[in-house]
Amino acid sequence: MAHEFLIEARGLSRRYGSHVAANDISLSLRKGEILGLLGPNGAGKSTTMKMLAGVLAPSAGTVMINGVSLADDPKRAKQSLGYLPELPPVYPELTVDEYLRYCASLHGLRRSERAAALQRAKQSCGLSEVSRRLIGNLSKGYQQRVGIAQAIIHRPAVVILDEPTVGLDPIQILEIRRLIKTLGQEHGVILSSHILPEIQAVCARVMIIHRGRLVYAEPLATAGSEGFRTIIAGFLRMPAFDVLLSLPGVGEIETLTGSQIRITVDNAGDDPRAAIAEAAATHGWGLIELHAERRTLEEIFVELSTGDAHALQEAA
Amino acid sequence: MSLVLTIARAEARRIFVSPLAWTVLAVLQSILGVVFLLLILDYAQNPRGPESSVGLSDYIGGGLYSFATLVLLLVMPLLTMRLFAEERKNGSLTLLLASPVSLIEIVLGKFLGLFSFIAAATLLLAAMPLMLLVGSNLDLGRIAAGLLGLSLMMMALGAAGLYVSTLTREPTIAAVASFGLLLMLWLMQVLSSQPGWIGKLLGYLAIVGHFENLRRGIFSSVDIVYYLLFTVLFLWLAVLQLDSERNG
């Protein structure tokens, strides 16, 4: 059974009394895709993920997982789901093996499949050498890995990871990122974080949630590579502006410092950089710097979460 | 059904790998051991003739089990508090909620897991009077009725505690609240001496009253049905509570 979308959520809302934790959030996830949910603390990321995982019922909206409605047939829908909540849901008094075996049988894995599944999950999460240790005695990083192993042991189509690298040291963070990337090849992964580099490192697509609303949803490639509107240029000898303005694509010019100018292009598709370089060479301006000013994800993030998010969404 | 057993097995395992269950069993056994000894000494010093209506099984078995109800009232909340409150506190409840398992299966599994403790406690309680088989003729039927009554009562206490445990995320609050609830149910027995229909009603509802018959060796289906209904009611309330939590 192949469905186009592994997760299809429409109009998800969640209210706690008068407080709206999530408002009209729609998202979809395809196979082999890693989607990042980004947002400042308390933006509604965890609430959204809880609703996707079926732990929390939405006040409004529907979730389809692998084509099965989470509200109508929760058991079947949850079979294709692996979920790591903010706190890894582990039992400190069990050993890693005992715990993972329990998780495997909870997800309906047959006795014969369990041993292999256990091996695989331990191997991908680097847990093989701590199999027989009590989870309560493991470090936070290892407990987090046990939490991830729990989410992937039954090879679900969808893996939902809520802040998977919180509390880990830099080396462990790199390891977990590598693991998430490998997971993204076979499964669909949704991952949340309030740390930008994290999302940039692993996700193909990003959604920014702010005050319970989805305010930005684009492939990561758009934020950064294409569609620049301004160029920064630096010269040893300041050029004559009328020569520059006569070049195709150049709109306005603004002096930044003694040697630097910002050039706004006429249309988003124009790229006058080559022409500027040629002109600089023929007129002997001494070109020392020339690059497109890119809108990074960080700028978008800061802009969205500090400015009026609603207005930005209307404009988008 | 196999999922219920899976959860029950894990629950039983977690009960018995934690020192709590063993401590509770040890304390239970020491206290009841002292009571048992006192009852034997008392019986030996005041021998009753063969014509007496109170026999050894009644005096020692019955006396021991009636004291046991009070101790169990105190210890059951300690075991039930971990079922949901503690799991909610350390976040592991999410594992069950996100698994392809229904709420009914979760509650039944946890209750069955708790039953492993009830069975262990019952076995220990059976061992003491059965020791007397060496030197006396016991009325095994009476002992068995008393044990059946005790385990039914523990089931009812456990179900009530399990429900209270779903209401909070603090294990201590769960323990104190279920202790209060159980004590209220127990106090109804005292109030049942009031005249009129109120006394009758309270006497019917009191949790210990129904044990009294079984302890005296009277197997009446009313008492069995009472305990089973009591258990099912609280388990059902627990399912409703978990469901409303997901929606609320």
Contacts of A105 in chain B (CB under 8 A): 6
Look at B17 and A94 and tell me if their CB atoms are within 8 Å. Answer: yes
Contacts of B97 in chain A (CB under 8 A): 54-55
Q: In what order do the strands lie in the sheet with A250-255?
A: A250-255, A260-265, A230-235, A287-293
Q: Which one of B6, B93, B97 has the shortest CB-CB distance to A105? A: B6
* Run means of pLDDT, 10 residues per run, chain B, 248 residues: 89 91 92 91 75 71 85 90 91 91 94 93 88 79 88 93 93 93 85 81 80 82 91 95 85
Residue in chain A nearest B20 by alpha carbon? A93
Determine the residue of chain B that is closest to A16 in CA distance: B248
pLDDT of residue B233: 95
Helices (H) and strands (E) in chain B, counts: 12, 0
Write down the pTM of the prediction.
0.81
Q: How many CB pairs under 8 A join A and B?
A: 69
Q: What is the pLDDT of residue A312?
A: 45
Q: Element (H or E) spanning A67, and its range?
A: none
A206-252 pLDDT per residue, tens:
888 888 887 777 776 655 445 567 788 888 888 888 888 888 888 88
What pLDDT, on a 0 to 100 scale, did the predictor assign at position A69?
87
Query: Is B1's Cβ below 8 Å from some Cβ in A?
Result: no
* B113 burial level (CB within 10 Å; 0-12, 13-18, 19+): buried
Any CB–CB contact under 8 A between B91 and chain A?
yes
pLDDT digits (tens, 9 = 90+) for A32-53: 888 888 887 778 888 889 999 8
DSSP labels, B125-162: HHHHHHHGGGTS---HHHHHHHHHHHHHHHHHHHHHHH
The per-residue pLDDT for A314 is 47
B245 Cα to chain A: minimum distance (Å): 8
- Higher per-residue confidence, A130 vs A272: A130
Sign of CA dihedral A161, A163, A165, A167: negative
What does the block give as tokens for B199?
A: 């006394």
| Residues in B touching A78 (Cβ below 8 Å) | 98-100
User: Do B97 and A88 make contact, defined as CB atoms within 8 angstroms?
Assistant: no
Q: Do B3 and A108 touch (CB under 8 A)?
A: yes
> Does B97 touch chain A if contact means CB atoms closer than 8 Å?
yes
The domains of chain B are located at 2-247
Q: What percent of chain A is predicted at pLDDT more than 70?
A: 89
Under 8 Å between Cβ of A94 and A108: no
Cα four-point dihedral sign B174, B179, B180, B182: positive
For residue A294, what pLDDT band results from cuts at 50, 70 and 90?
Answer: low
Stretch (H or E) spanning A12: strand A7-16
ipTM: 0.85
- pLDDT surpassing 70 at residue A140: yes
* A305 and chain B in contact, CB less than 8 A: no
pLDDT at site A220: 67
A73 touching B (Cβ < 8 Å): no
Q: 92-121 in A: which are within 8 Å (CB) of B?
A: 92-94, 98, 102-103, 105-108
A17: left (phi over 0), alpha (psi -120 to 50) or beta: left
Which among B13, B96, B99, B110 is the top mutation candidate for probing chain A, defined by the most A β-carbons within 10 Å of its own β-carbon?
A: B99
Among A44-58, A71-85, A185-199, B162-176, the least confident range = A185-199
pLDDT at A313 over 60: no
Q: What is the C-alpha separation between B56 and B132, in angstroms, rounded?
A: 9
Instruction: Note the pLDDT of residue A97.
Output: 92
* Cβ–Cβ gap A57/B246 under 8 Å: yes
> Exposed, middle or buried: residue A125 (CB in 10 Å: 0-12, 13-18, 19+)?
buried
